[in-house]
Amino acid sequence: MAWMEQLQAANGAQALVCALGAYLLGCFATGYYLVRAVKGQDIRNFESGSVGARNVGRLLGRTAFFLTVAGDLGKGVLAVWAADRFTDDPLLPAVALLCVVAGHIWPVQLRFHGGKGVAASLGALLLYDHRLAVAYAVFFLGGFALIRRTLLPGLFAFACLPLTEYWLHRDGLKLAVIALLAAMILFAHRKNLLEEIPALAARRSVTAKPHHPKL
């Protein structure tokens, strides 16, 4: 198979440096260090315990939310750009994509308790293949238009990316990379899914059965 030949031809030393560098870059948790700088506190002790933008925004406000999003997007972009710019192996941007997201979700210096990986993933996808980022936006906006919530449409959009990748390239290795990325994001949000799906079902049930006042 072509993708097996690609793996066998990969430069092991370059792949190791790329993977480690991207992982360490991902470990720079923008929200965690922002809250440390502003409040001198650990964001993981508040609300959801995540170091991601939503949790930071709850504590520090809208500006901190956007700064965290920008920082997390930026490290995804930087990881894939560096892999593409400084190596000659077409597989290494995919390695960088997965490792920078893994570093964000499981940062070693924070005892593997990081964010959920959405912004870092989207930043990496913008350079890895911007069509996947566009597809994500289309799926997300479609889901948001239906239920007027952000979490489930966002996760649904990630779940659809492997099918989009297969449709675009018919490449087994690239499909495996995007499927693994989607699995990482869904796994990081597993608790949110357990809370959000019953909440949405209850909301739909209330909407479907309007209350009629007694006469």
Q: Give the separation between CA 41 and CA 45, rounded to whole angstroms.
A: 8
The burial class, CB within 10 Å (0-12 / 13-18 / 19+), for 81 is middle
Q: What is the pLDDT of residue 202?
A: 66
Q: Which long-range contacts (CB under 8 A, 24 or more apart) does 54-60 make?
A: 55/31, 56/31, 59/35, 60/34, 60/35
127's tokens? 């350079």
Whose CA is closest to 184, among 110, 82, 69, 76? 76
- Give the Cα-Cα-Cα angle 66, 72, 75 (nearest 5 degrees): 140
Distance CA 40, CA 10 (A): 44
**Does 211 score more than 80 pLDDT?**
no
Residues whose CB is less than 8 angstroms from the CB of residue 94 and which lie 6 or more positions away in sequence, other chains included:
128, 173, 174, 177
User: Which SS3 state, helix, strand or coil, does residue 59 take?
Assistant: helix
Q: What pTM was computed for the model?
A: 0.85
- Per DSSP, the chain holds a count of helices (H) and strands (E) of 11, 0
Choose the weakest-confidence range: 4-8, 28-32, 33-37, 103-107. Answer: 4-8
Mean pLDDT of the 28-52 span:
91
On whether the CB atoms of residues 156 and 141 are closer than 8 A, the answer is: no
Give the H or E element holding residue 26: helix 12-27
